[in-house]
């Protein structure tokens, strides 16, 4: 795919984030979509492509009054929206659509307008994981952590610093759910959820949504917003069962999606000014930093503990506070994308001065899927 | 009313040999007749070379503890804290399981400790494979 030929021209989150019991899930999609359209001065009739997860593109298009010529319902968990952006860029380049809306909305906390999602007993997960006592992501996502720690000699204190540093970023963000500073001791004395992880190492559970509008870079110049160009993209999937990952010290999906995006963008790690790594749980930034090649294998714990990703340091990471402190509706990827767009527009609450390139890396399921988007605010 | 028990598997045509095996006291894997790859979970073709010529084999039942969490929340059929473990079988594949006859603590559950399979009947249709510290 050519670089810099597609741009984000509209971007917004729902007006309210956190606990929003007065909105159903489809309305959270719509609220974000209406805000994104208002952001760039478009109406539903101007949109000819719809991509979404959580709800189907049929539901979203109909609810918003859109008649699309292109839809994408890729639903592979929280990184679905990174993958939508990748597919949308390809669709715009191929001429399948001109103006694409990507929406996310999730009543993750209040559960309004969505049903339970049981694991079928006849699925592979239902047969070979569920009988052994998992209950959702907090019980399954941290399964690789002890192996990763033993392999590289990573300490509990080092991993606790992931939460501590991200809370420092959240402290700069008025929209963040949790903003009060925390210490390593606070993290390691919080309630045990699934050893080795405690409450402050697990994401929030909140309500909210976000939406993006993409069009060709040529048209982007006619919009009121500062265009944020798509420089490179990548995606992959590995396994629906965390127990069947090829490795517990690396994600194959990360290792495919991340480097694909870097190759496409034609950049190196030292070109990156700002980084988002989807942090549903505290080990994800560690795997992301290593699988994307920002640090050597086994070094990510030390890298974060030594404050290299903290405010003012060389690699600003998860500058909205992340899923650990900002918000996490369930499929958090959209909020990571929104923060990358804000950083590229120069409008983030914790703005990285002069940032020109932002890497946004997402995970879906329990290391099941991955999508990476590299943004730039530099004209093609 | 009795409390609901743990979630139980519902075998499919492709997995029936595995669940028949646990009822017979065997841990059954599959091996490719062409490239000799041993794999899990079950499917009637080799995930490495796509050959449909595969055979069911009886695993040794020996494994090591690869990784785990100790879950502290209540789940039907479980008394927290309990470990949700992944073991690496001597034949190569990994498998999720519970560790029995062992304290559910970080001190007792040492990574790489040798384990052996045990079978526990859940009802007339389903027997689950668990692992315990190896005795020999
Ligand atoms: Zn084979």
The number of distinct structural domains making up chain B is: 1
Distance B29 CA to ligand 1 centre (A): 14
Of B10, B15, B69, the CB nearest to A194: B69
A128, A193, A248 ranked by CB distance to B67: nearest? A248
Task: Flag if A126 and B84 touch (Cβ within 8 Å).
Answer: no
Contacts of A78 (CB under 8 A, 6+ apart): A278, A280, A330, A331, A332, A333, A362, A363, A364
Q: How far is the CA of B87 from the centre of ligand 1 (A)?
A: 23
Q: Quick count: other Cβ atoms within 10 Å of Cβ A364?
A: 28
pLDDT of B3 reads 72
Helix/strand/coil (H, E, C) string of chain B? CCCCCCCCCCCCCCCHHHHHHHHCCCCEEEEECCCCCEECCCCCCCCCCCCCCEEEEECCCEEEEEEEEEECCCCCCCCCCEEEEEEEECCCCEEEECECCCCCCCCCCCCCCEEEEEEEECCCCCEEEEEEECCC
Residue B1 pLDDT: 59
In chain A, what are the domains? 6-111+204-376 (3.40.47.10)
Q: Determine whether the interchain pair B95/A243 forms a contact, defined as Cβ–Cβ distance below 8 Å.
A: yes
pLDDT of A29 = 98
Confidence of residue B2 (pLDDT cuts 50, 70, 90): low
Q: Is residue B7 part of a domain?
A: no
Q: What is the pTM of this model?
A: 0.97
A/B interface, count of CB pairs below 8 Å: 109
The residue count for chain A: 380
Q: Is B41 on the interface with A (CB under 8 A)?
A: yes
Report the candidate in A288, A290, A253 with the shortest Cα–Cα distance to residue A152: A290
Option in A124, A130, A144 nearest B7 (CB) = A130
User: In this structure, is residue B8 part of a structural domain?
Assistant: no
> Is B5 part of a structural domain of the chain?
no
Cβ within 8 Å, pair A132-B75: no
Range of the domain at B26: 16-133
Q: Which residue of A has its CA nearest to B106?
A: A195
Tell me if chain A has a CB within 8 Å of the CB of B6.
yes
Contact of B103 with chain A, judged by CB distance below 8 Å, is answered with: no
User: Closest Cα partner for A137 from B129, B110, B69, B86?
Assistant: B69
Q: Contact B8/A243, CB-based, under 8 Å? A: no
Task: Decide if the complex's ipTM is over 0.85.
Answer: yes
Strand partners, A274: A358
Q: What is the pLDDT of residue B4?
A: 83
- pLDDT at position A1: 54
User: Residue B136 pLDDT > 80, yes or no?
Assistant: no
Q: Is residue B3 part of a domain?
A: no
Q: Flag whether B10 is in a domain.
A: no
Per-residue pLDDT of chain A (380 residues; tens, 9 = 90+): 556 799 999 999 999 999 999 999 999 999 999 999 999 999 999 999 999 999 999 999 999 999 999 999 999 999 999 999 999 999 999 999 999 999 999 999 999 999 888 899 999 999 999 999 999 999 999 999 999 999 999 999 999 999 999 999 999 999 999 999 999 999 999 999 999 999 999 999 999 999 999 999 999 999 999 999 999 999 999 999 999 999 999 999 999 999 999 999 999 999 999 999 999 999 999 999 999 999 999 999 999 999 999 999 999 999 999 999 999 999 999 999 999 999 999 999 999 999 999 999 999 999 999 999 999 999 87
For residue B93, the CA-to-ligand 1 centroid distance in Å is 14
Q: Which of B7, B78, B86 has its CB closest to that of A121?
A: B7
Task: Using an 8 Å CB-CB cutoff, list chain B residues near A196.
Answer: 69, 106
CA of A63 to the centre of ligand 1 (A): 48
When pLDDT is averaged across residues B42-64 and rounded to a whole number, the result is 98
Nearest by CB to B75, from A133, A191, A244: name it. A133
């Amino acid at each position: 795919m050519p670089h810099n030929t597609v741009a984000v021209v509209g971007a917004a989150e729902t007006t309210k984030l956190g606990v929003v019991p007065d909105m159903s899930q489809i309305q959270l999609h719509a609220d974000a979509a209406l805000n994104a359209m208002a952001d760039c001065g478009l109406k539903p009739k101007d949109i000819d492509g719809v991509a979404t997860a959580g709800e189907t593109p049929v539901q979203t298009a109909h609810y918003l009054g859109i008649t699309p010529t292109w839809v994408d319902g890729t639903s592979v968990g929280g990184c679905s929206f990174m993958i939508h952006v990748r597919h949308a860029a390809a669709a715009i380049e191929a001429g399948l659509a001109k103006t694409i809306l990507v929406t996310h909305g999730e009543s993750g906390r209040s559960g309004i307008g969505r049903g339970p999602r049981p694991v079928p007993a006849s699925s592979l997960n239902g047969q070979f994981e569920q009988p052994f006592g998992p209950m959702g992501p907090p019980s399954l996502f941290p399964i690789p952590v002890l192996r990763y720690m033993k392999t590289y000699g990573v300490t509990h204190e080092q991993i606790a610093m992931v939460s501590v540093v991200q809370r420092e970023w959240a402290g700069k963000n008025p929209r963040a759910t949790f903003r009060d500073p925390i210490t390593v001791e606070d993290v390691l004395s919080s309630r045990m959820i699934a050893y080795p992880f405690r409450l402050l190492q697990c994401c929030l559970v909140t309500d909210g949504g976000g939406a993006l509008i993409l069009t060709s870079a040529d048209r982007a110049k006619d919009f009121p917003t500062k265009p944020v160009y798509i420089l490179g993209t990548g995606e992959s999937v590995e396994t629906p069962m965390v127990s069947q990952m090829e490795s517990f010290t690396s994600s194959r999906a990360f290792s495919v999606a991340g480097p694909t995006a870097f190759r496409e963008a034609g950049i190196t790690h030292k070109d990156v000014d700002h980084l988002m790594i989807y942090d549903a749980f505290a080990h994800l930034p560690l795997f992301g930093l290593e699988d994307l090649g920002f640090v050597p294998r086994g070094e990510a714990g030390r890298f974060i503990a030594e404050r290299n990703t903290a405010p003012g340091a060389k690699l600003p990471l998860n500058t909205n506070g992340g899923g650990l402190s900002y918000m996490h509706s369930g499929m958090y990827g959209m909020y990571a994308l929104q923060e990358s767009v804000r950083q590229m527009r120069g409008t983030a609450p914790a703005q990285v001065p002069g940032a020109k390139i932002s890497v946004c890396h997402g995970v879906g399921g329990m290391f099941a899927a991955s999508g990476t988007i590299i943004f730039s605010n530099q004209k093609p | 009313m009795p409390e609901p028990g743990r979630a139980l598997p519902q075998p499919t045509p492709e997995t029936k040999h595995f669940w028949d095996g646990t009822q017979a006291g065997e841990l059954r894997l599959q091996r490719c007749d062409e490239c000799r790859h041993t794999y899990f979970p079950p499917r009637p073709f080799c995930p490495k070379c796509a050959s449909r010529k595969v055979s069911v084999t009886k695993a040794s039942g020996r494994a090591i503890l690869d990784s785990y969490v100790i879950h502290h929340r209540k789940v039907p059929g479980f008394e927290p804290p309990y470990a949700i473990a992944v073991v690496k079988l001597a034949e190569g594949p990994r498998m999720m399981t519970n560790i029995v006859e062992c304290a559910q603590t970080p001190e007792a559950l040492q990574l790489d400790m040798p384990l052996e399979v045990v079978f526990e009947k859940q009802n007339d249709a389903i027997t689950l494979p668990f692992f315990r510290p190896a005795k020999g």
